[in-house]
Structure 1
Amino acid sequence: MEPLEELGEKGDGGVLRTVKDLTAGAAGGIAQVLLGQPFDIVKVRLQTSSQYSNAFDCAAKILKNEGPLAFYKGTLTPLIGIGACVSVQFGAFHEARRRFEELNAKKTPLNPGLTYSQYYLAGAFAGVTNSVISGPIEHIRIRLQTQPHGANRLYNGPLDCIRKLSAHEGVLRGLYRGEVVTIWREAQAYGFWFLTFEYLMNQDAKRNNIKREDIPSLRVATYGGLAGEALWLASYPFDVVKSKMQSDGFGAQQKFSSMTDCFRKTWAAEGFGGFWKGIGPTLLRAMPVSAGTFAVVELTMRALG
């Protein structure tokens, strides 16, 4: 007869575990969007335009010229999509983690836990899996965030944006523009995101001799926030290139032919600093957004049992 803990990971138990992972991730994704969208539009504007001197200048001009609701431009798409993205991230991460645990159990039955390189790889797998969804979602959001204000706007909403992007060069070259650099960014970002969070949680449990689920919510949120800082510091140059490519023109107006071309031209025109434009508001945003995401996910998973 199989041990109860093994039965829990097989058959209906395994499906239930996956459903719980996805549900917790979706809840965390909604929290992430609502907390982070105002910071995100400032980040994208700074990455793709030279008309602002700093983050505060950008925020002030958006408020003055476009009104307070402008900070939530393009929110509908990520509100629906990021919930799905974070759900996929946590579902894929925990699935990869379980696979590593099974592999480790065969080699070292007494200590099947993941190494920190395996935590990184599980996070990178989650990021690559997520990129299939996040690529077009972020492309649409960036187009809506960077389009001219008022009568000169290019898109009437997410669906109109999808239709026009697909009409230019088809779904793969239009809607999925910048997908290669998105995959690189997602792998690096979520590799470090999950690695940092798991390291901090494990060290807390070890230091205080408590179970992971007994770590107070405030410390969970703090570790989640620090993981968010690590995510962006590890992946930000890829994100800058992604934003440039996904706000680029079409046809004769296109500035960048590929990811490497965008890296090369950014370096030539702006130097090292060009790859870090907008990092200030991004790091400011990362702490509360990532803290809220992990706190909501952990609380949801604990509630689901």
Structure 2
Amino acid sequence: MADTIRDIVAGAMGGAAQVLIGQPFDIVKVRLQAYGGDALDVTRKIWSLEGPRSFYKGTLPPLLGVGACVSIQFGAFHFFSQQFDNFNKQQRSNHEGSLSLGQVYLAGGLAGVTNSVISGPIEHIRIRLQTQPHGEKKLYPGVSDCVRKIWQHQGISGIYRAQAVTILREFHGYGVWFAAYEGLVQHVARMEGKNRSEIESWKFAVCGGLAGEFLWLLSHPLDVIKSKMQSDGFGHDQKYKTMREAIRQTWRMGGISGLFEGIGPALLRAMPVSAGTFAT
């Protein structure tokens, strides 16, 4: 119980760090995913046309929710890891019950799926706020108005738009994240001949940052499809009725590069955000 509480508190602190450090990178990433273009040009236009405060557009939903999301991730990861650990201890071939990296991947993936119940709607609302027009053409004055209008158009299914691809991204992405982090920490321990408790804190942060790079490199295409679907219109204005249609149109328009739109800002964001999460 104490370990789970510790993981939840660490997750909440890490979630706040994710938002405050990563939001400016995230809005550039999302706009590139939704509309294409060049990262520097998108950044310049946000600064000149909307002002520097706009880099934190859509911050409230993740700031309120990402702490809970990351808390759930770490709490669920600890829970599923414990289940695998108990299973291993029951197998006489593994007396210590240590997890394989495959089991860490599964525990991380299941934690991501658990978290997706909350992260899906939060990210949908954030993306709507980040991609809406500026000034007089603004669609949503705030979070509550955005939620209300989505509900009016499609009800609960609208709130959970693109949930299938969100679940796939969360499972694979967080499976990779936790497994990469654990693998890197184990490598450092072997290279230095140290126990885990003897490793310096900054090295855990570096391992966390590198794990974040792996997460986005290997899950970015799913994130692109999710952003396109969640920034899409309603009714006659909706271009992507299904995940398959979004993938097909993205591939037709941009090929493999279309599935990696916004990867630059995503990777720039990943290192400090992920390092900050594991360092808290």
Structure 1 and Structure 2 fold alike (TM over 0.5): yes
Within the candidate set 4, 7, 15, 1:29 is matched to 15
Aligned-partner Cα distance in 2 for 1:210–1:280: 35
Aligned-partner Cα distance in 2 for 1:70–1:279: 21
Residue 250 (1) aligns with residue 234 (2): yes
Residue 190 (1) aligns with residue 174 (2): yes
Residue 226 (1) aligns with residue 210 (2): yes
Aligned-partner Cα distance in 2 for 1:213–1:148: 50
Q: CA deviation at 1:272?
A: 1.4
The percent of aligned pairs where both chains have the same amino acid is 57
Q: CA deviation at 1:265?
A: 1.2
Q: CA deviation at 1:57?
A: 1.1
Within the candidate set 250, 260, 266, 1:276 is matched to 260
Residue 119 (1) aligns with residue 104 (2): yes
Structure 1 unpaired stretches of 5+: 1-13, 297-305
- 1:67-91 CA-to-partner distances (Å, cap 9, x unmatched) read 0000000101100111111110111
- 1:41-100 CA-to-partner distances (Å, cap 9, x unmatched) read 0000111114x3x11111111000000000000101100111111110111111111111
SS at match of 2:120: helix
- What residue identity is the alignment partner of 1:76? L
- What residue identity is the alignment partner of 1:129? T
Q: Which residue of 2 aligns with 1:10?
A: none
Q: CA deviation at 1:270?
A: 1.6
Q: CA deviation at 1:202?
A: 1.4
Residue 99 (1) aligns with residue 110 (2): no
Q: CA deviation at 1:208?
A: 1.9
Aligned-partner Cα distance in 1 for 2:191–2:253: 48
Q: CA deviation at 1:269?
A: 1.8
Q: Which residue of 1 aligns with 2:190?
A: 206
8 A Cα contact 2:18 2:276, kept in partner? yes
Q: Which residue of 2 aligns with 1:147?
A: 132
Aligned-partner Cα distance in 2 for 1:58–1:214: 44
Residue 295 (1) aligns with residue 245 (2): no
Q: Which residue of 2 aligns with 1:133?
A: 118
8 A Cα contact 2:25 2:269, kept in partner? yes
- What residue identity is the alignment partner of 1:104? N
- What residue identity is the alignment partner of 2:42? C
Q: Which residue of 1 aligns with 2:223?
A: 239
8 A Cα contact 2:88 2:95, kept in partner? no
Structure-2-length-normalised TM-score: 0.97
8 A Cα contact 2:224 2:259, kept in partner? yes
Aligned-partner Cα distance in 2 for 1:163–1:209: 56
CA RMSD of aligned residues (A): 1.0
Q: CA deviation at 1:109?
A: 4.8
Change (3 A) 1:109 1:273: closer
- What residue identity is the alignment partner of 1:163? R
Within the candidate set 247, 260, 273, 2:244 is matched to 260
Q: CA deviation at 1:200?
A: 0.8
Q: Which residue of 2 aligns with 1:47?
A: 33
Q: CA deviation at 1:132?
A: 0.5
Structure-1-length-normalised TM-score: 0.90
- What residue identity is the alignment partner of 1:99? Q
Residue 169 (1) aligns with residue 154 (2): yes
- Equivalenced residue count is 279
- 1:91-119 CA-to-partner distances (Å, cap 9, x unmatched) read 11111111111000010352310011101
- 1:157-188 CA-to-partner distances (Å, cap 9, x unmatched) read 111111111111111x2110000000000001
Within the candidate set 41, 45, 68, 1:84 is matched to 68
SS at match of 1:269: helix
Aligned-partner Cα distance in 1 for 2:100–2:113: 20
Aligned-partner Cα distance in 2 for 1:131–1:250: 23
- What residue identity is the alignment partner of 2:110? F
Aligned-partner Cα distance in 2 for 1:279–1:179: 21
